């Protein structure tokens, strides 16, 4: 039992040390490690899960032109995790990630644009159906005269 407890304590100590190294590196301008910190907070690995803290680190990574960090901020906005759901903000971050040659950012941007196009077509179809209903009603009134 003591060996198991010792292993757990050593493991936790390594995680804490690793976390501190990531944090120090991020604070020194390492965008990749800022992204890694964001991931830890997003999934709650070794830290209390917090989308808000994840966003802080992803934003910092994105500011440092780390493409994955940009894409992950976009994900937070797309899914409304720790922020209000906002596709226009997601699009901004996915666009930056794509411009930084991050394949997933480009794919997410494309999917978002396709969703927007489908929504526009659905809205247009709804408008045309309403217009058709109004014209049908007018035609029926004219037939009664």
pLDDT tens-digit readout, 42-94: 998 889 999 999 999 999 999 999 999 999 999 999 999 999 999 999 999 99
The whole-number pLDDT of residue 139 equals 75
pTM of the model: 0.75
Q: pLDDT digit string (tens) for 90-129?
A: 999 999 999 999 999 999 999 999 998 888 888 788 888 8
Question: Between 1.25.40.10, 3.90.198.10, 3.40.630.10, 1.20.1060.10, what CATH number should domain 2-144 receive?
Answer: 1.25.40.10
Q: How far is 71 from 129, CA to CA, in rounded Å?
A: 38
Of 15, 7, 57, the closest CA to residue 32 belongs to 57
Q: Which residue has the tokens 């209390």?
A: 48
CB atoms within 10 A of CB 15: 14
Distance between CA atoms of residues 22 and 38, nearest Å: 10
For residues 105 and 71, is the Cβ–Cβ distance under 8 A?
Answer: yes
For residue 13, the model assigns a pLDDT of: 41
Checking if the pLDDT of 15 tops 70, the result is no
């Amino acid at each position: 039992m003591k060996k198991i407890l010792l292993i757990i304590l050593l493991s936790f100590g390594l995680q804490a040390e690793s976390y501190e190294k990531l944090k120090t590196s991020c604070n020194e301008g390492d965008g990749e490690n800022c992204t890694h910190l964001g991931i830890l907070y997003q999934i709650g690995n070794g830290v209390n899960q917090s989308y808000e803290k994840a966003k802080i680190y992803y934003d910092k990574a994105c500011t440092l032109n780390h493409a994955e960090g940009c894409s992950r901020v976009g994900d937070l906005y797309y899914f409304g995790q720790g922020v209000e759901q906002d596709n226009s903000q997601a699009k901004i971050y996915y666009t930056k990630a794509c411009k930084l040659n991050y394949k997933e950012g480009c794919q997410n941007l494309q999917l978002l644009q396709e969703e927007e196009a489908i929504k526009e077509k659905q809205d247009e179809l709804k408008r045309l159906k309403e217009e058709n209903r109004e014209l049908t009603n007018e035609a029926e009134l004219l037939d009664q005269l």
